[in-house]
Amino acid sequence: MRQDTTLSASVSDHFAHEWQDYDHLIRQTIPGYDFVLDLLVDIVSRGPAPPRSIVDAGIGTGYLAAGLLTAFPEAELTGIDIVPSYLELAAERLRPYGRRVDLIVGDLATLELPRGADLYVTSFALHHMTDATKKRVYGQMHAGLTAGGTVINVDFVDSPSGHYSALFDQMRIEQMQAQGMSAKEVDDRYVRHRLLERPASLVSQMRWLDSAGCSDVECFWKYLNLAMFGGRKRSF
């Protein structure tokens, strides 16, 4: 566990100092960022019942949370993040939703997630965790779900192919440069950032969700080394 907490401290420090303008930088580095989070909300909205209790693990500045709270006006949301300054931005963004929001400073490497949620979401957070932590988080999410509830993760995923892993990295860098990022910015916000990442393959993580007990495990979207995937808890 010490390895996880040491990594978490490095990740928190990196984001606090190198990613102060998170909302701008995430759109420079993640192609289709708004599209995929809007797609997540659309997928959840087509479930058998709207979620009334949502846990956003790695809420960041609250963009996804705002979309979920708008789409599901009866829902309450608990947001967790390790970067206090991001939670301050999330609090401001989510102020219109009042008491429907509870924000917690916490490290997913050690935190016990709230239970009794209809929906667990996490976006661009778990790839900073070891595989053991990812498996534990998926297990907690499934155990904490209400019957018929859903888990969805949007994240950076590794490729089992060294050839395509390098190719995807190069294509991402070229896209960042096309967005106007300088060579130094790419190095600071992506290349050095990658040293703090512990990505796992999409196939492995879908298997871990299945092993945790999820049914209907599916990949909803994939682009290069980015993916959205999840599963449900059986309703019987």
Q: What integer pLDDT is reported at residue 5 of this predicted model? A: 63
Q: What integer pLDDT is reported at residue 32 of this predicted model? A: 93
Q: What integer pLDDT is reported at residue 7 of this predicted model? A: 62
Q: What integer pLDDT is reported at residue 195 of this predicted model? A: 80
Q: What integer pLDDT is reported at residue 190 of this predicted model? A: 83
Q: Rounded to whole angstroms, how far apart are CA atoms 221 and 123?
A: 13
170-189 tens-digit pLDDT? 999 999 999 888 998 888 87
Phi, then psi, of 52 in degrees rounded to 5: -110, -20
Task: Dihedral sign for Cα 221, 228, 6, 79, please.
Answer: positive
146-164 tens-digit pLDDT? 999 999 999 999 999 999 9
- Tally the domains of the chain: 1
Distances (CA, A) of 75 to 16, 25, 51, 62, 144: 30, 29, 6, 15, 17
Give the CATH number of the domain where residue 14 resides: 3.40.50.150
Shortest CA distance to 156 belongs to which of 187, 133, 118, 122? 122
Q: Mind giving me the DSSP string for 11-57?
A: HHHHHHHH-TTHHHHHHHHSTTHHHHHHHHHHHHHTSSS--SEEEEE
In tens digits, the chain (236 residues) has pLDDT values of: 455 666 677 777 767 666 778 888 889 889 999 999 999 999 999 999 999 999 999 999 999 999 999 999 999 999 999 999 999 999 999 999 999 999 999 999 899 999 999 999 999 999 999 999 999 999 999 999 999 999 999 999 999 999 999 999 999 999 999 988 899 888 887 887 788 789 999 999 999 999 999 999 999 999 999 999 999 999 86
User: Which residue range is the domain that position 193 belongs to?
Assistant: 2-232
- Measured from the Cβ of residue 198, the count of other Cβ atoms closer than 10 Å reads 18
pTM: 0.93
